[in-house]
Amino acid sequence: MTPDTIYGMTGIAVFAIGLAGALCAQDRLRRMLALKLCSVGAGFLLVVAAWRRPPDVPDPVPHALVITGIVVMVSATAVALALIRRLQTLEAEDAD
Amino acid sequence: MPIDPLILSLFAPLFGAVAAFLFPRAAAVIGLLAVVSICAAVPALAREVLAAGAVSVALGGWAPPLGISLRADGLSVAMLSMTAAVGLLVSCGALDALRDARQRQYFWPLWLLLLTGMNGVYLSTDIFNLYVMIEVIALAAVGLTVLSGTREAVRAGLEYMYASILGALLFLMGVGFVYLQIGRLDFAGLIAAEPSGAMSAGLALMLVGLLLKSALFPLHFWLPDAHANATAPASALLSGLVVKAALYIFLRLITQMPMPDEVLITLIGALGAGAVIWGGVQALRAERLKLLVAWSTVVQIGLIFIAFARAGQGGLSESWKAAALLVLAHGVAKAGMFLAAGRIKDEVGHDIIRDLDRSPMRPTLAQFSFALAAISLIGLPPSLGFIGKWSLMEGAMAAGYWHWVAVTMIGTLMSVAYFSRVLAGFLRFDRVRAPVVEHQGWALADMAPLVLAVSAVSLGLLAAPILSFLELGYPFGATP
């Protein structure tokens, strides 16, 4: 077991946990957090890809990809949270 | 220096979206300008592709694998022109159909962002770029879904958001696998890659993500509500264009990579068959017109996946072209149908199918457009849908795959049945108590669905040139 295998396996495991959460969770916020976890897992895997070649010179491309992925996920989370809040307000109005 | 049409079709909508957001009063003008400029760029691009076969541009002079290059061949230009044409007509329809000031203000930036993503998908040559573009599309599409602001729309939009993000993340995970394996992300690297377990796992993850995004049965759960509850122009864009992006990526990947094995292909075909049957049953049961149209999208997607499966089995470029033709036909016809359904709902005041024949108000032009679009979706000659279905069945018959022929025929019969429910409502007058009022004159909003529906039917007559155009630049891997 080299460190990069452990790291990669962790990434896959984190992704799997997130996936299970996204599919099974009932609560809206919880599902969103599970999706965030998925994205972290995918990010792990890309970071491992940077180590794949001789370890003293990490490959910069996956790092760029991870940063892009993080930016995308931040915006997606923002939109989802806004929707969750809006839906909560609408449902509260209906309940009154 | 003249601007490259490739670059224009990507950046005009992007800058347009920003400008439309910053200047909400001029949003409609900016939006129309951006769409028109793309409509001007696409024919120029088509001319270049006709002359050269395929054109590509390395953005900023950085060559792949590090830089991003854009490439257009026959298939991408066909998708670009479908998107531009449908987009222009839906935009015209939206000018009239969106009454609410808030909806008007946000429709244009969202739609232009969506257009950026769509054009980006059709021009991308590497899988990470595709991931970014499908996320752009997803965010804009969710925005369009919730534009009406009703509780149902927001709920459906949130479901759509979850499905979309999950699909994109599965895709991203697949991208990670592929990069780990071959250290490259461009299509050329994918083709050259040695088949291996990790490669197959990566491609499988990407394909599952795309299945979720293109709503193939049983991953279609988010689609009907999202498409049925959006405002009419948004529904037309979502159903006519957005699902096509995922289908296009699927088509690209599956033709770029080593052929997956028979079991997988049969599985995709079986899921497609499930979509055709289940979607048909749900469309027969649907109570609201827009919901019926949304379920018909599920059916059509199933049909397109059957064409993919058929093509994978034969490995024939003919069947890929049938699939591409079905994608184009559905885009045009479904956009027209959703706009028409929206017009009918506006004029009649509701869209409950059972009560359509009680309404004294008959928006005849919208009903006519709906019927024409139905002709193309059912697949009656001479429509584009007919040509697509026909080449699909012809190929299946020639190869002796009778089960695909049977499923296609069952799907066609069911589509006749569920569209007849609506058409009968249009044509029956005996249950109307008050004198029948036909919609007087015609509104600008009637023009868009009518033109879309007429072209869905009449493009079938141009099928031969479209088919030969699709082949330019050999998008299906069939070199001479």
All structural domains of chain A: 3-95 (1.10.287.3510)
Q: Would you list the DSSP string of B215-264?
A: T-TTS-TTHHHHHHHS-HHHHHHIIIIIHHHHHHHHHHHHHHSPPPPHHH
* Contact assessment for residue B404 and residue B310, using Cβ atoms and an 8 Å cutoff: yes
- Phi/psi for B183 (5° steps) reads 70, 20
Distance from CA of B290 to the nearest CA of A (A): 22
Alpha-carbon span B298 to B216, nearest angstrom: 7
* Contact assessment for residue B209 and residue B69, using Cβ atoms and an 8 Å cutoff: no
Closest-CA residue to B238 (of B250, B225, B249, B251): B225
Distance from CA of A1 to the nearest CA of B (A): 17
* Contact assessment for residue B254 and residue B127, using Cβ atoms and an 8 Å cutoff: no
Query: What secondary structure letter does DSSP report for B446?
Result: H
Distance from CA of A32 to the nearest CA of B (A): 7
Alpha-carbon span B382 to B375, nearest angstrom: 9
Distance from CA of A9 to the nearest CA of B (A): 12
- Asked whether residue B290 is domain-assigned, the answer is yes
Which chain A residues are closer than 8 Å to B151 by Cβ?
A: 87, 90-91, 94
Return the number of other C-beta atoms located less than 10 Å from residue B301's C-beta.
Answer: 29
Specify the number of domains making up chain B. Answer: 1
Residue B439 belongs to what domain range? 263-480
- Asked whether residue B455 is domain-assigned, the answer is yes
| Parallel, antiparallel or unpaired: strands B437-438 and B361-362 | parallel
Q: Which residue has the tokens 């049961």?
A: B285
Cis peptide before B382 (omega within 30 of 0): yes
Residue among B102, B165, B166 with most chain A CBs within 10 A, to mutate: B165
Distance from CA of A83 to the nearest CA of B (A): 6
Closest-CA residue to B16 (of B7, B25, B27): B27
- Asked whether residue B397 is domain-assigned, the answer is yes
B229: tokens are 């509850």
- Asked whether residue B126 is domain-assigned, the answer is no
Q: Give CA torsion, residues B11, B13, B16, B17, to 10 deg.
A: -110
pLDDT at B157: 94
Total CB pairs under 8 A between chain A and B = 87
Count of all residues that appear for chain A in the document: 96
A66: tokens are 């991870």
Q: Where are the beta strands (DSSP E) in B329-413?
A: 361-362
B162: tokens are 């979850």
* Contact assessment for residue B27 and residue B33, using Cβ atoms and an 8 Å cutoff: no
Angle CA B296–B298–B300, to nearest 5: 70
What is the ipTM score, two decimals?
0.93
pLDDT at B195: 78
Residues paired with residue B361 on neighbouring β-strands, in sequence order? B437
Nearest to A49 among B139, B143, B176 (CB): B176
- Asked whether residue B63 is domain-assigned, the answer is no
Distance from CA of B238 to the nearest CA of A (A): 18
pLDDT at A83: 94
pLDDT at B317: 61
Which chain A residues are closer than 8 Å to B158 by Cβ?
A: 28, 80, 83-84, 87
End-to-end CA distance of chain B: 36
Alpha-carbon span B96 to B443, nearest angstrom: 8
* Contact assessment for residue B119 and residue B38, using Cβ atoms and an 8 Å cutoff: yes
pLDDT at B1: 45
Contacting residues for B271 by C-beta, under 8 A, at least 6 apart: B211, B216, B217, B218, B302, B305
- Please judge whether A72 and B132 are an interchain contact, meaning their C-beta atoms are less than 8 angstroms apart: yes
Query: Splitting chain B (480 residues) into consecutive groups of 10 residues, what average pLDDT does each group show?
Result: 80 93 91 93 91 84 77 91 94 84 89 95 91 94 92 93 93 89 83 81 90 90 92 92 93 74 81 94 93 94 87 64 89 94 87 85 87 93 89 81 88 94 87 70 79 92 87 62
Contacting residues for B168 by C-beta, under 8 A, at least 6 apart: A72, B131, B134, B135, B138, B209, B213
pLDDT at B479: 40
Which chain A residues are closer than 8 Å to B183 by Cβ?
A: 49, 52-53, 59
Which chain A residues are closer than 8 Å to B173 by Cβ?
A: 15, 38, 41-42, 45
Nearest to B158 among A28, A53, A72 (CB): A28
- Please judge whether A86 and B154 are an interchain contact, meaning their C-beta atoms are less than 8 angstroms apart: yes
Query: Splitting chain A (96 residues) into consecutive groups of 10 residues, what average pLDDT does each group show?
Result: 82 93 90 93 85 70 88 93 93 85
| CA dihedral over B94, B145, B420, B373, signed as positive or negative | positive
pLDDT at B444: 73
Tell me, yes or no, if A82 comes closer than 8 A to chain B by beta carbon.
no
Alpha-carbon span B239 to B216, nearest angstrom: 13
Collapsing DSSP to helix, strand or coil, B350 comes out as coil
- Asked whether residue B82 is domain-assigned, the answer is no
Alpha-carbon span B106 to B129, nearest angstrom: 26
Alpha-carbon span B169 to B46, nearest angstrom: 33
- The CA–CA distances, whole Å, from B242 to B80, B94, B96, B445 equal 12, 17, 22, 21
Q: Which residue has the tokens 């499930």?
A: B274
Cis peptide before B65 (omega within 30 of 0): yes
pLDDT at B480: 32
3-state helix, strand, coil in chain B (%, to 5): 80, 5, 20
pLDDT at A55: 62
* Contact assessment for residue A43 and residue B169, using Cβ atoms and an 8 Å cutoff: no
Residue among B172, B205, B213 with most chain A CBs within 10 A, to mutate: B172
Angle CA B389–B120–A61, to nearest 5: 125
Does the pTM exceed 0.90?
yes
- Please judge whether B180 and A59 are an interchain contact, meaning their C-beta atoms are less than 8 angstroms apart: no
